[in-house]
Copies of this chain bind each other. A is one copy, B any other.
Amino acid sequence: MGAQGKGQTAAVEDNPSRPPAPRPPTVTDVARVAGVSTATVSRVLNDIPTVDAKLARRVRTAITKLGYEPSRVARSLRVKRSRVWALVIPELRNPFFTDMISGVEEVARAAGFMLFLCNADSDVDKEASYLRLAVAEHVAGIILSPASQAASARALGTLGTTPVVTVDRRLDAPVDWVGVNNRQGAEMAVHHLADNGYRRIACISGPGDTSTGAARLAGYRRARGARGTDGGPDLVRVGDFDENHGFRAMGQLLRLRPPPDAVFATNNLISLGALRAIDEAGARVPEDIAIVGFDDMPWTSLVKTPLTAVAQPTYDIGRETARLLMSRVEGDAAPPREIMLSPTLVVRGSSSARRSALSQRQR
């Protein structure tokens, strides 16, 4: 109900009583008002100590009086480096990345850096295009989670001297990296399933041309090898790190004869899709199929059977990445560093110890 606020569209014309040029003040204006040179204003702005306290005060009052705000673009042009980072990630809708970004944002903001958000959409061309834009914007540094191992490493060459820190996904190149021990995380998942009596453990893997996809699959294979579990290569399903792949792969796995008795879902979106497939097939977790995911999410404890998952210190990953980039931006020229954090296994009902076929019948 109520009236629409649309009324009174009358005087759209320019108001002649408005000051002629609402041009934002510049250093020159500040200098004039403070009665000093622009050089002195600049010195005050940049906290250069060799300036008389009295003059500095005059400058500061002039600044507040005018409501002056230094132009970051003019400064960027002059010093040939902006206080901006580019954040290039493969998928914005994956909560892992947004949590990670939260960590990056915290330290960037504290240091006065703005963040260019670049969503590559898992597309190497979009990624390359964003990287070009980033250098065209004279960003001070780049945080990159590469869409692909091969193509993205090539793109690195075009970046000139801009510092780059990769995160989560590695590159075959001498470049900083922050992330978790993905192979270890995968091994933990599979060993845990084997410990709980599962023998046919499947894996829904991500793309082979991402280091995380490759490492988690490698960990899975290694752990299976160590435990001598059953089943052949058809238990491995490689595809994208998304819900769709999780859904379809899980459907295929459930139709296998014999089907797997457990599955390792290698990221949170794949887990989501796999759970949906299990649900639609009317299968029970873990009686018909156990599942362990990668990435612990707010919803993992709330699904029908709470999900066991390999948890990453996602926010910390973002913070460490930003700190490392910060040191590079400030001139740290040490050889490339790799900061590897540890994943942890959060055990819940989806991987509960398997009952033997006998005891199942006894129920």
- Residue numbers of A with Cβ under 8 A of B are 9, 12, 22, 24, 67, 69-74, 76-77, 82, 84, 87, 92-93, 95, 98-99, 101-102, 105, 109, 112, 114-119, 126, 129-130, 132-133, 135-138, 158, 160-161, 243, 269, 272, 275-276, 279, 297-299, 301-304, 335
Nearest-neighbor residue (CB-CB) of A130 within chain B: B109
What's the nearest-Cβ distance from chain B to residue A17, in Å? 17
Q: Give 17 CB contacts A-B under 8 Å.
A: A9-B335, A70-B136, A73-B73, A73-B77, A73-B137, A77-B77, A95-B98, A101-B117, A105-B117, A109-B126, A109-B129, A114-B116, A114-B137, A116-B116, A272-B298, A279-B301, A304-B304
Provide the main secondary structure of the chain A interface: mixed
CA distance A272 to B95 in the complex (A): 15
Give CA–CA (A73, B70) in the complex, Å.
15
Considering the chains assembled together, what is the distance between the CA atoms of A279 and B304 in angstroms? 11
Ranked 3 nearest A-B pairs via Cβ: A299-B299, A117-B117, A115-B117
Residues of B within 8 A of A117 (CB): 87, 101, 105, 115-117
Instruction: Tell me if A302 and B301 are in contact (CB < 8 A).
Output: no
Decide: A93 near B87, CB < 8 A? Known: A114-B133, A272-B299.
no
Query: Which of A98, A101, A269 neighbours the largest number of chain B CB atoms within 10 Å of its CB?
Result: A98
- Establish whether residues A303 and B298, one from each chain, have CB atoms under 8 Å apart when the complex forms: no
Q: Which residue of B lies closest to A302 (CB)?
A: B303
